[in-house]
Structure 1
């Protein structure tokens, strides 16, 4: 329960951790990407261009695009070889230094992810469903902090949701958190950006406390609803949120506890069925938009 962020000091900051610019295969320059997120009400953004040789291993320097009410995190999407079903990985690394060296020819995914984490990055398994990652693939990446459980771009191919793999990894003892992201490229055929985000609880908008909060799991993810509070007491979880039509508690056992309603804003659900010692909360509004907590250890 220590990772529940709702009563930690500070406030929630809205941000996107996975976005691309024309430094790799995005349509827009970094300045325009930042402008769009800022105008959409975001507090921070990570531009994570594809760290590939064909693009010159770009790592977007967005420091000059920061302002008193908006900040940027530096990062990239790393592509070492290979997974069971693909010639390359997709590994998100947010918080990299600008002089992060390009991959060595013999460097495998586990080694590159460890090096990114050692350099200060928050490391995530990007869009596992879209990449057809197996549990064996995911378990080999021992430096990961989190799984990208929802990817708005991959949703166009019906592979946006990666909770199943995440739940399997949690049941196998991997203490991972779970974030949602746009993976926006702003190409004409793409869905619009600003569709999935994290709400990070930190005392300030500076990059350092935001990264520390991400690594500690002090955040939740959303495509629409807001979570105001989640508390566990006496075998029940109490959820307070913006109006939703469904609240679910799922965990390491098959099945779920579910409450339906027209405009639910507070409810309590029992936790006795979650014998494997963890659960997570999902809320869904009438438009089908969802928000998710990180795993809660009971």
Structure 2
């Protein structure tokens, strides 16, 4: 029997992608921390553009953690048309072991990382690899952010093993331009055998439209420490949520070939699988009702599964994927 989340765990709500007045956000770091704490968050990464910050000394407590980090950029620019494509990757300070193995040492508080600028054309794939290597060599956990909004093509960022998580839901770009859903790229990578976890984030700038508290992760960890949270992220022991106060995934169990999902009341549960055409299933509640459990019988040819729990407002909780070859 496989359980996606440890029993008797604690759950911690966090945002892995946010901006402040240190770059192009409207909230100061003080305001950001105050607002996120007031809305039930246990941790927050202030990932300002091309600027690494480490405010642990100022904001950490027994009930709240800052994850030091940055969002670095590469842009493809045309003199006539302006920005054509972008790569945005978050680097979040990794575990103690990752820090000790950092080839280039650690970024320092308020250290600037200059963006890569290309004109007319670029080797987008090579640039992604270079950016990820830079973050990894500085001891970072890496996310690849909002590919639909960035106008990149799949071959430019669908690269196995160079980052830890793909941002599949970005609340800012959902509300800005309807470009914040990235699950198609995720499944494409998984179907190619690339095992990558996913995350949902705010990318909040707090400007002219709502972009906070609507994209977050729920992490299962023994206690609220930097290493516990980062290890859980590395191991995929969390789920992602799109939508303010979205659904909850309590547990996913694979027992032989039976998959069972337990969750808060929702309208549907999607069990998405890699493999043959039509693999996976959707379990829908009867009209006017809700479900808190769903199950599916696997046929043994699935290459991976992941779960989506969707409520009546379209708010969604996504599990991380699991390779079936390691389970069945």
Is TM more than 0.5 here?
yes
Deviation string, structure 1 residues 104-159 (Cα, Å, up to 9, x no partner): 97993312211212322111110111112322011347521110011111112121
Query: Could you tell me which residue of structure 1 aligns to residue 60 of structure 2?
Result: 66
SS of 2:213's partner is coil
Name stretches of at least 5 consecutive residues in structure 1 with no aligned partner: 52-57
How many Å separate the matches in 2 of 1:195 and 1:104? Answer: 28
Indicate how the Cα distance of structure 1 residues 104 and 159 shifts in structure 2: closer, same or farther if over 3 A, else same: closer
Query: Could you tell me which residue of structure 2 aligns to residue 55 of structure 1?
Result: none
How many Å separate the matches in 2 of 1:18 and 1:231? Answer: 30
Contact 1:245 1:260 survives alignment (8 Å):
yes
SS of 1:48's partner is coil
Question: Which protein is bigger by CA-based radius of gyration?
Answer: 2
SS of 2:290's partner is strand
Indicate how the Cα distance of structure 1 residues 269 and 31 shifts in structure 2: closer, same or farther if over 3 A, else same: same
Contact 1:74 1:98 survives alignment (8 Å):
no
Taking only aligned residues, the RMSD between alpha carbons, in angstroms, comes to 2.4
Indicate how the Cα distance of structure 1 residues 260 and 62 shifts in structure 2: closer, same or farther if over 3 A, else same: same
SS of 1:161's partner is coil
SS of 2:52's partner is coil
Q: Given the alignment, which residue of 170, 175, 192 partners 1:172?
A: 192
Query: Could you tell me which residue of structure 2 aligns to residue 208 of structure 1?
Result: 227
1:75 shift after superposition? 0.7
1:102 shift after superposition? 2.6
Indicate how the Cα distance of structure 1 residues 141 and 240 shifts in structure 2: closer, same or farther if over 3 A, else same: closer
Q: What is the aligned residue count?
A: 288
Query: Could you tell me which residue of structure 1 aligns to residue 14 of structure 2?
Result: 15
Query: Could you tell me which residue of structure 2 aligns to residue 54 of structure 1?
Result: none
Contact 1:18 1:46 survives alignment (8 Å):
yes
Query: Could you tell me which residue of structure 2 aligns to residue 6 of structure 1?
Result: 5
How many Å separate the matches in 1 of 2:319 and 2:256? Answer: 19
Q: Given the alignment, which residue of 249, 254, 261 partners 1:239?
A: 261
Contact 1:5 1:218 survives alignment (8 Å):
yes
SS of 2:158's partner is helix
Name stretches of at least 5 consecutive residues in structure 2 with no aligned partner: 78-82, 95-105, 118-125
Q: When the two structures are superposed, what TM-score results if normalisation uses the length of structure 1?
A: 0.89
